[in-house]
Chain A
């Protein structure tokens, strides 16, 4: 029997921190190898995404970050290896059962028709609703909370097409939250966002990790954001893991130099003592005199 039949129901999303015990494994990938056509993009990658934790997936362009995220979400089948969602292989769930546990936000979010922001966020409730059900007050409360958390309430009635790139990104993060997932997979959530909203978004997801034991895996370009907000990082190079662990252990000058093939300077950021990475190659950099 598929787990859907056993655990389906309106109460599903209310499973709180007790069910999602911090530190327990939400999503486990074992020896994933994958690619497109004849091209191998991912080689023997194994990771855990744990409840209450934010895992950052970093690496150069084309290292396989987005591919890994797609496989973790079940959108792409690996050539070899398995993904387990809360102990069961992804293939053992039907799509709706996965959607009640796992939310994904893609890098780009085109929308074909003029849906309002609120309608988009309410779409996150679809896996919890029957085919003929309209959203209930309960669903609206969840959507409102998601809108509020991402600072979007004032935009709720606006067509999605009228929003800026950053606002749009936040709408899709709010939609993912309305899905009431236990795992969130985010592809470049900080892209297109200004400084304030980058900080706020990571702050929101850290809150969610703490409040309800949400497990978050996010691909990131920005190593400093990864160092600042992630509990653990996976560093990918050419589809293989080049480092996996706490940011301070993975982001060493030697590691990063080998992966990014450029000089880097690794220091401490004065705000919270997290690792801080700067390009260390002086060519092209402006001379500064103190």
Chain B
């Protein structure tokens, strides 16, 4: 036993500690405030991340391929600056923030569900499935009408089917094999990519731009209606994920162990799959495949903030939003006036990052 522990009264808290603890309302285990999650730490951390997000969003709205004056944009409603800020940049920044939040929250939840830090919507082929569904719906319903509703619906349906297929195929004797899961996901990802290229080669040239847009991922010129759709579905999804945060913590101990601590594991798994598929479907149908946000953001936050999902999921929401808005800013200004697809930026960061996490954490995760 440790020396400090010996000094305490048997079976209790050292008197000085107890008095100090209760006087200041601090927790009763001295010096261990960082060893577990307190509501105060959640509040502070989220406040800091929210401040970062707001700062990034202001910078992203102020800068772009054209120089505008924020003051004139707000003061003069008839100016070009006003039109650029509110008609072009704001919807784009808001969409980037929402999609980034959705992707990072989904990444954090999926990683907990499959107990693997390398899981992510893009890597597991869920985004690819969603994009394929969106493209097929766009091609079919652009003639029949109703594409606005059918594109996100088909994106969600295809994302869900893709999730279930990947999950089923990765089950070996009823147990989830992390390594098989990643392989199956990566294969699905390229399969969907090939299927999209196939559709691209047989349809009218008119669709090609949209298809490439979905493959690369971009926040180019969204309508407020699209932004609202992703905001509602993504927001609801994030809320559901947060209510499952503690259960996801328990799932880190294993399916049986989580069940023995009161978690209805099958119900939890179904909920997370359905919710993340809806979220990915909504995001993909508006902005295409944006990979690796769901890998990079939760990983960095987990290393700095700890593993507790009650903090990790809301932190990923804010961090994912800030990261994606920043990535989109780079996409807009890097080779201005031309523009890079934001999906290319995140993938360029994400590929090396994936290898880094695989080398550092993957071996341990795959071994256990």
How many residues of chain A have a CB within 8 Å of chain B?
49
Cα of A118 to Cα of B31 in the assembled complex, Å? 12
Query: Which residues of chain B have C-beta atoms less than 8 A from A110's C-beta?
Result: 253-254, 368
Q: Encode A100-117 as 1/0 by CB contact (under 8 A) with B.
A: 101110100111111111
Do A126 and B308 form a contact, CB below 8 Å, given A156-B35, A157-B32?
no
Any chain A CB within 8 A of the CB of B146?
A: no
Whole-angstrom CA separation of A120 from B35 in the bound complex: 10
Stretch at the interface among B61-69, B204-212, B216-224, B243-251: B243-251
Contacts A148-B5, A156-B35 known; A115 to B262 CB distance under 8 Å? Answer: no
The answer to whether B262 touches A96, judged by C-beta atoms less than 8 angstroms apart, is yes
Query: Which A residues are CB-close (under 8 A) to B11?
Result: 145, 148
**Residues of chain A with a CB closer than 8 A to B246's CB:** 126, 129, 131
Question: Which residues between 21 and 42 of chain B lie within 8 Å of chain A, taking CB atoms?
Answer: 27-29, 31-32, 34-39
CA distance A157 to B38 in the complex (A): 14
Q: A113-B252, A134-B39, A144-B28 are in contact. List 9 more A-B contacts (CB 8 A).
A: A99-B262, A112-B112, A112-B116, A114-B307, A123-B261, A124-B261, A153-B1, A154-B4, A157-B35
Q: Are A95 and B264 in contact (CB under 8 A)?
A: yes
| Cβ–Cβ contact B261 & A127, under 8 A | yes
Is there a chain B Cβ closer than 8 Å to A151's Cβ? yes
A96 and B247 CA atoms in complex are apart in Å by 12
The list of the 9 closest CB pairs from A to B, nearest first, reads A154-B2, A96-B262, A112-B115, A113-B307, A99-B262, A157-B35, A127-B262, A110-B368, A112-B252
Least CB distance from B246 to A in Å reads 6
- The answer to whether A144 touches B13, judged by C-beta atoms less than 8 angstroms apart, is yes
- Interface 9-residue window, one of A46-54, A135-143, A220-228: A135-143
Interface residues of A (CB under 8 A from B): 70, 73-75, 95-96, 98-100, 102-104, 106, 109-120, 122-124, 126-127, 129, 131-132, 134-135, 137, 140-141, 143-145, 148, 151, 153-154, 156-157, 161, 179
Interface residues in B225-273 by Cβ distance below 8 A to A read 243, 246, 249-254, 256-257, 259-264
Instruction: Judge whether A134 and B252 touch: CB under 8 Å.
Output: no
Chain B binding surface SS class: loop
Within the complex, which residue of B4, B36, B112, B253 is in contact with A109, where a contact is CB–CB below 8 Å?
A: B253
Closest to B29 in A: A144
- A104 to chain B: closest residue by CB: B260
Q: What CA separation (Å) do A95 and B4 show in the bound complex?
A: 38
Given contacts A123-B261, A126-B262, contact A154 B254 (CB under 8 A): no
**What's the Cα separation between A168 and B121 when bound, in Å?**
32
Interface of B with A (CB < 8 Å)?
Answer: 1-2, 4-5, 11, 13, 27-29, 31-32, 34-39, 112, 115-117, 243, 246, 249-254, 256-257, 259-264, 302, 306-308, 310, 364-365, 368
Q: Are B35 and A118 in contact (CB-based, < 8 A)?
A: yes
Residues of B near A99 (CB, < 8 A) are 260-262
| Residues of chain A lying within 8 A (CB to CB) of residue B116 | 112
What are 22 A-B pairs with beta-carbon distances under 8 A?
A: A70-B256, A75-B256, A95-B262, A103-B260, A104-B260, A106-B256, A109-B253, A112-B251, A113-B302, A116-B306, A118-B35, A119-B35, A123-B249, A123-B253, A126-B262, A131-B243, A132-B243, A134-B38, A140-B27, A141-B28, A145-B11, A154-B1
C-alpha spacing A104/B262, complex, angstroms: 12
Judge whether A75 and B1 touch: CB under 8 Å: no
